[in-house]
Amino acid sequence: AVAAPRPTVIWLSGQACTGCTETLLRTNHPTLETLILDTISLDYNETLMTGSGHQAENWKQQAMKANWGKYLMVTDGSVPTGAGGNYCRVAGKTYIEAVKDCAAGAAAVISIGSCSSWGGWVSTGVNPTGAKGLNEIITDKPVVTIPGCPPNPYNFLSLVLHFVTFGKLPALDDKMRPKFAYGRLIHENCERRPHFDAGRFAMEFGDYGHRQGYCLYKLGCKGPETYHNCPSIGFNDVGQGTWPVGTGHPCFGCSEKGVGFTKSIHELA
């Protein structure tokens, strides 16, 4: 039997730090190479592809044309809208034009990372480039978001594999985030929650309570305001507790617009 063609994925990057791709490079189940060589066909990704210049742009155009209406579009990084979009140009086009062109033929659009999901930290404060989330530019079709800085790669992989397996998107919340990953507050699943309930708090980094693993709320933890599965899923496959609060740092709400560090930056500006 002839194997079914792998679904085409076209990945565009705006004002990005490449952290979203970097986090994907650290996955083990499946590994990124299994994903892009066996499961999907990643036809364009500026961080990973070997081609460049006209060759890369031509390949992107061919991949879009050959798979029009069927491909998955993924973007990382915010969309700079200041100065007519000229803060980011690729192949002679502004990034605004590039995402509109690509989204027109996409079967589904995914924003990976906080920047693409809602503008991210670059959109806070004075925001000199006019950074916005993709969903403020692409308004004629749903844009699924996987916020996080960086996002958890397994939430992204789960979303992509769900789409590839079932041909449809999973259940989403009102911010277009998959409910399987963003359905609960961090505070609901945090291993320090018994300390919160008992009123045992770390008051300073390195104090007795901090060393004992007490709740980090009084050090600024935003777990009670942030919807994310960080405590359950962890990072980097190195065991239980490998997430910000598990390692002794308060959650700063990296994935939640208007919470934590993004709010603070705004207040400082």
CA gap 44, 10 in Å, rounded: 5
Cis, peptide link before residue 30, omega less than 30° from 0? yes
252 makes contact with ligand F3S (CB under 6 A) = yes
> Which residue(s) pair with 1 in the sheet?
none
CA gap 191, 214 in Å, rounded: 10
Please identify which residue in the block is written with the tokens 């480039």.
129
Q: Residue 247 CB, nearest distance to ligand F3S (Å)? A: 10
Stretch of 54-62, 115-123, 126-134, 183-191 lying at the interface with ligand SF4 (CB under 6 A): 183-191
Outline where DSSP puts E strands in the chain.
Answer: 8-13, 41-44, 71-76, 79-80, 89-90, 93-94, 106-112, 131-132, 143-146
Q: Residue 88 CB, nearest distance to ligand SF4 (Å)? A: 35
When CB distances are held under 5 to 8 angstroms depending on the partner's kind, the choice from ligand F3S, ligand SF4, none that residue 228 binds is ligand F3S
Q: Are strands 8-13 and 41-44 parallel, antiparallel or unpaired?
A: parallel
Please identify which residue in 122, 215, 230, 254 interacts with ligand SF4, judged by CB under 6 A.
Answer: 215
- Break the chain down into helix, strand, coil percent, rounded to 5: 40, 15, 45
When CB distances are held under 5 to 8 angstroms depending on the partner's kind, the choice from ligand F3S, ligand SF4, none that residue 259 binds is none
122 makes contact with ligand SF4 (CB under 6 A) = no
User: 83: exposed, middle or buried (C-beta count within 10 Å: 0-12, 13-18, 19+)?
Assistant: exposed
Please identify which residue in 132, 192, 228, 257 interacts with ligand SF4, judged by CB under 6 A.
Answer: 192
Residue 165 vs 240, nearer CB to ligand SF4: 240
Residue 60 vs 195, nearer CB to ligand F3S: 195
Enumerate the known binding-site residues for [3Fe-4S] cluster.
230, 251, 254
Task: Catalog residues that contact ligand SF4 under the rule CB under 6 A.
Answer: 186-187, 190, 192-193, 196, 215-217, 221, 223-224, 245, 251
Task: Catalog residues that contact ligand F3S under the rule CB under 6 A.
Answer: 148, 186, 226, 228, 230, 243-245, 251-255
